Structure 1
Amino acid sequence: MPETVSTAPTEHACWLPRHRKSPNAARRELRRFLAGHPDGENLLPTGELLLSELVTNAVQHARTARGRLIQIRFGLARDLLRIEVHDADSGRPALRDALECGEAGRGLLLVHELAQSWGCCPRRGGIGKFVWCHIAPEAAAA
């Protein structure tokens, strides 16, 4: 008789308000999503950090009408975690140098350095964009 290794879903999505508390809510969603996966613990520290940065960017920088939501999506395939953060602003994020004494400007730099790959794509229907990143257990353990 075959043995079931995991019954956890391989995809998850939810909507969050554009609010300063949304990065924390997003991290909670990711912890719940990865809890049922065998390699989830190895993906969690880097996944939480990069998800927080992407959600924070969407909250702080998306130029959208009041009340617009952010969607977060997670996918897991062959031990590779995919994180997507969707917003209604079509402006693409830009990787830039952070000021040495500044506290801001490091979010995308962290994503660039810690993710296996990342990018930005327009959303279906032409409204907004999503920023995505892939995290592998090797990168997560670093």
Structure 2
Amino acid sequence: MPEDLSPFSPAPTERSCWLPRRHDSPRAARWALHDFLRPHPSGELLVFTGELLVSELVTNAVQHCHAPLNHLILVRFDLSPEDTLRIEVHDTDPEEPTPSAATPTAETGRGLFLVQKLATQWGCCPRESGVGKFVWCHISPEAAAA
């Protein structure tokens, strides 16, 4: 039987979790990201911006997805060897999100604006299954520190 002689195993470079379409899912996504980034040396540089953006993307999936509430949201994290964090939020609604111009007194409508400004890249793609879409963004340590 092989043994791992190393006292430390490498931190995972990807993780995913399923969340219900509920108002508390953005908080659960932030905790999942924080837990994922904790063992990575660059995690401290990515966590603040990453938590904000995953919260915005999951909030959009919860509030704007035109699918039954019992459908789940898939959240995926991937950390590249260059320490670029990729966040994906999958839902069953095929409609792509569109940034809106929120009025100065509006309490909502700034999520995608924040994603546009803080991510190094972002976009939306149809899911491979043909059901729904996923919205993704990339965050680099340099951009997150700025």
Name the TM tier (shorter chain): over 0.9
The equivalences for 1:1-16 within 5 A come to 7-16=10-19
User: Which of 52, 57, 62 lines up with 2:55 in the alignment?
Assistant: 52
- Alpha-carbon distance in 2 for matches of 1:19, 1:32: 21
Instruction: Tell me the percent identity.
Output: 60
- Alpha-carbon distance in 2 for matches of 1:65, 1:50: 24
Residue 132 of structure 2 aligns with which residue? Answer: 128
Return the TM-score normalized by structure 1.
0.95
User: Which of 80, 95, 99 lines up with 1:95 in the alignment?
Assistant: 99
Residue 71 of structure 1 aligns with an amino acid whose one-letter code is L
Query: Is residue 2:84 matched to residue 1:80?
Result: yes
Structure 1: runs of 5+ lacking an equivalent: none
SS at match of 2:107: coil
Residue 29 of structure 2 aligns with which residue? Answer: 26
Q: Residue by residue, what CA displacement relative to the aligned partner does 1:11-42 show, whole Å, maximum 9, x if unpaired?
A: 00010000000000000000110011010000
Q: Residue by residue, what CA displacement relative to the aligned partner does 1:38-60 show, whole Å, maximum 9, x if unpaired?
A: 10000000000000000000000
Task: Give the number of equivalent residue pairs.
Answer: 140
SS at match of 1:125: coil
The equivalences for 1:33-48 within 5 A come to 33-48=36-51
- Alpha-carbon distance in 2 for matches of 1:56, 1:46: 15
Structure 2: runs of 5+ lacking an equivalent: 1-5
Runs of 4+ in 1 over 6 A off after TM superposition: 3-6
The question of whether the paired residues in 2 share the 8 Å contact of 1:118 and 1:133 is answered with: yes
Give the aligned CA root-mean-square deviation in angstroms. Answer: 1.5
- Alpha-carbon distance in 1 for matches of 2:132, 2:7: 39
**Rg: which structure is higher?**
2
Query: Is residue 2:117 matched to residue 1:113?
Result: yes
- Alpha-carbon distance in 2 for matches of 1:4, 1:74: 25
Deviation at 1:66, TM superposition (A): 3.0
